[in-house]
Chains A and B, each alone.
Chain A
Amino acid sequence: MVWCQTIKFEDVPEGDAVSVCVEGEPLALYKLDGRVHATHDICTHAKAHLAEGFVSGDCVECPLHEGVFHIPTGRPVSGPVSIPIQVYPVRIEEGMVLVDVPPSG
């Protein structure tokens, strides 16, 4: 496991998303009921940032084509998306959000 530091827990807005870059990968961090989740930030359908999308319940809707993903699992829920969005393990340490991003390649 390679835990990478991202941003402070308190800087992830509740019920919303924020984008971060970890090991060169754009990620979206979400806070749902006080718990932080991480997915890849780029929609699997077309080049759009999910962190700029609309968070509703435990799903995020892509800002471009209304593809909807389940945040905790990455499962495609509706819209034109068929490929799941990559999700990453998250833990909180000393107020920081750590994300496990496997080295690419």
Chain B
Amino acid sequence: MTPGVVIVGAGHAGARCAHALRQAGYAGSVTLLGDEGAEPYERPPLSKSFLLEDGRLAPIAPAASYAAAGIVLRPSARAIAIDPAARRVDLADGASIDYRHLVLATGSVARMPAFTGLEPGDVLALRNAADAARLRKVLRPGQRVLLIGGGFVGLEVAASATRLGCRVTVVEKQPRLLPRAVSAWAAERVLALHAGQGVEVRLGRAPVDIVRAGPAFRYVLDDGTQGEADVVLAGMGAMPDVALAERAGLAMNPPPVHGVLVDAACRTSAQGIHAIGDIAAPRDASGGCRIRLESWENAERQAARAAAAIVRAEQGDEPSPAEAAADEAPWFWTDQFDMNLQIVGWPAGATRYVAREAGAGKAVGFHFDAAGVLVGAELFNSGRDRRIVRQLVAAGRGVAAAELADPAVPLATALRNAQQRGPAAAPNDSRS
């Protein structure tokens, strides 16, 4: 077989990239290597419907679609090394595959706490289907769950566990939930939701010791509080799985924004190698990367971008390396209990906000920077408004906070007014 595209990692980004290559007209071979032994599946349901309902995986694409598109899917072929000079990937079973273009989509691994009194496997986390299957077994009515860290995935599991009849305690060392991802306004609402459902949330606290106590665990927090739990779960976020890329000598962005440096076309420092999804650290004007995204949408976008770049390269159109484009605002969502929260742009870094309350749990928070520019929004149970909210965030300047805060003013009117004012205008008082 003439070397074609080899994709390492059959998660969301990898699977979508394989199909995107075909949709973009790529005619060479496409090989998708995974190490989970399963067809590519949607990860978002793992913390929700997978735990609460049937425990079935939701495929990213119909099983037959891979063969139909001429994609060689190898779900149990773990890559262990890359030789960029020889353009070759070595597999765990001793075989190797030559490539013309390589796409690295190795995803993330859960950040785990280290306690000397615990064995590996004592603390659970949720990253993949195997983790979710393990959780499904232990989240039984009456079980006491200690969740370390109040991030998105952890809070989604906390909600599901509560619905399954578990008693959940969340310990977050920051003074609020979701400190990096959402505004204080949204964090307050998420906290109220969990508290109202009986989840015990301990903010500004961290466990200092956890030991086995028979079939359960005994823990001590940094304020001296002691407790017991049947299940200990890490909800401390994830780290990009960059081991292969590092060993291959690809240019990396150092921690804290650790990842494989890529340009706007998701190309790495090595000829013919792309990186997409959680591991990709897009180079900005500073030459490094200040923002790396771990999201479903980012996996979608970069999969399409890398596929397009590969097709262009095949046509002899190799654009010069470019900085990551001033991007469309990112979009992210989380579902906890009956709350759907969607986040557009960068609300966490804003300096002031207005809230548009529509009752019945529906609200949108609009976040402005010091110059009065709308930089992000948080939509609670308001998915219907997402499209127009994205347009408002894209407009950025000239959006009137007072109009957004008034439910009697349609968002479409606020958008039209902003567009009429033009990008130069900033009607918001930015003194606060």
Taking beta carbons and an 8 Å cutoff, which residues of A are in contact with B?
46-48, 52-54, 56, 61, 63-66, 80, 82-83
Contacts and interface: CB of A to CB of B under 8 A. Distances in A.
Interface stretch (B127-135, B170-178, B313-321, B383-391): B383-391
Given A54-B386, A61-B387, A63-B386, A46 B45 contact: yes
B349 to A, nearest CB: 24
B49 interface: yes
B284 interface: no
Nearest to B296: A65
Contact of A52 (B62, B65, B333, B384): B384
A64 B383 contact: yes
Contact of A47 (B16, B49, B61, B65): B49
B384 A82 contact: no
Interface in B173-222: none
Nearest to A56: B387
A56 B386 CA distance: 13
A56 B383 CA distance: 14
Contacts of B62: 82-83
Interface of B: 16, 42, 44-45, 49, 58, 61-62, 65, 296, 300, 333, 340, 383-384, 386-388
18 contacts: A46-B42, A46-B44, A46-B58, A48-B383, A52-B384, A53-B383, A54-B386, A54-B387, A54-B388, A63-B340, A63-B383, A64-B333, A65-B296, A66-B386, A80-B16, A80-B300, A82-B61, A83-B62
Contacts of B65: 82
A99 to B, nearest CB: 22
A53 B49 contact: no
A63 B45 CA distance: 16
Majority secondary structure of chain B interface residues (helix, strand, loop or mixed): helix
A58 to B, nearest CB: 16
A48 B42 CA distance: 15
Top-7 shortest CB links A-B? A63-B383, A54-B387, A52-B384, A63-B384, A54-B384, A52-B383, A64-B383
A53 B58 contact: no
Contacts of B300: 80
Contacts of A82: 61-62, 65
Nearest to A47: B49
Nearest to A83: B62
Nearest to B60: A80
B383 to A, nearest CB: 3
Given A46-B45, A61-B387, A82-B62, 14 more contacts: A46-B58, A47-B49, A48-B383, A52-B383, A53-B384, A54-B386, A63-B340, A64-B333, A65-B296, A66-B386, A80-B16, A80-B300, A82-B61, A83-B62
Which of B49, B62, B384, B387 has most A Cβ within 10 Å?
B384
A96 to B, nearest CB: 26
B377 to A, nearest CB: 15
Most buried by B among A48, A56, A63, A65: A63
Contacts of B383: 48, 52-53, 63-64
A46 B65 CA distance: 18
A46 B60 CA distance: 10
A66 B330 CA distance: 13
A19 to B, nearest CB: 12
Contacts of B61: 82
